[in-house]
Amino acid sequence: MTRIKKKHHTIAAVEAELLKRVRVQGRISRVELSRQLHIVPSTAGIYVDRLIRDGFLVESAKREPRSGRPPKLLELNPSGGRFVGVDFEARSLMATAVDFCERPLRQVHKAIRATDSATQILDKIEQAIAEVMDGGPGAVLGIGVGVPGTVDPHTGVALRYEFIPGWQNIPLGARLADRFGVPVFLENNIRCMALAELWFGSGRGLQDFVCVGIRSGIAAGVIVNGHLLRGSRNRAGEIGHWQWGDASLEHVASLSAMIATAQRAIQQGQKTSLASVNGDLTIEHIVSAVKAGDAFALSLVEEAARVHGWVVRELSALFDPQKIIFAGPLAELGEAFLAPVRASAGETDVEITASTLGRYNGALGAAALALHQWKPKR
Per-residue pLDDT tens over the stretch 84-103: 999 999 889 999 999 999 99
Tens-binned pLDDT, residue by residue, of the chain (378 aa): 677 667 778 889 999 999 999 998 889 999 999 999 999 999 999 999 999 999 999 998 765 555 556 678 999 999 999 999 999 998 899 999 999 999 999 999 999 998 999 999 999 999 999 999 998 888 999 999 999 999 999 999 999 998 898 999 999 999 999 999 999 999 999 999 999 999 889 999 999 999 999 999 999 999 999 999 999 988 999 999 999 999 999 999 999 999 999 999 999 999 999 999 998 999 999 999 999 999 999 999 999 999 999 999 999 999 999 999 999 999 999 999 999 999 999 999 999 999 999 999 999 999 999 998 999 987
Kindly give the pairing relationship between strand 184-188 and strand 140-147.
parallel
Per-residue pLDDT tens over the stretch 229-278: 999 988 999 999 999 999 999 999 999 999 999 999 999 999 999 999 99
Give the dihedral of Cα atoms 234, 119, 372, 11; nearest 10 deg: 100
C-alpha–C-alpha distance, residues 290 and 308, integer Å = 18
Residue 95, classed as helix, strand or coil, is strand
Fold of 204-356: Nucleotidyltransferase; domain 5 (3.30.420)
CATH class, range 80-195+362-373: alpha beta
C-alpha–C-alpha distance, residues 258 and 262, integer Å = 6
Residue 48, classed as helix, strand or coil, is helix
- Which residue ranges does the chain devote to CATH 3.30.420.40? 80-195+362-373, 204-356
**In this predicted structure, what is the pLDDT of residue 153?**
93
**Stretch (H or E) spanning 75:** strand 72-76
Give the dihedral of Cα atoms 44, 47, 51, 53; nearest 10 deg: 110
**In this predicted structure, what is the pLDDT of residue 122?**
97
**In this predicted structure, what is the pLDDT of residue 63?**
58
Give the dihedral of Cα atoms 106, 223, 356, 107; nearest 10 deg: 10
**In this predicted structure, what is the pLDDT of residue 24?**
84
CA 93, distance to chain mean position in Å, is: 13
C-alpha–C-alpha distance, residues 254 and 249, integer Å = 7
Q: Find the DSSP H helices in the chain.
A: 2-25, 30-37, 41-53, 118-133, 172-180, 189-199, 249-253, 255-267, 283-291, 295-319, 335-345, 361-373
- Which residue ranges does the chain devote to CATH 1.10.10.10? 2-76
**In this predicted structure, what is the pLDDT of residue 137?**
82
Taking the whole predicted model, whether its pTM rises above 0.85 is answered as: yes
CATH number of 2-76: 1.10.10.10
Widest Cα–Cα separation across the chain: 81
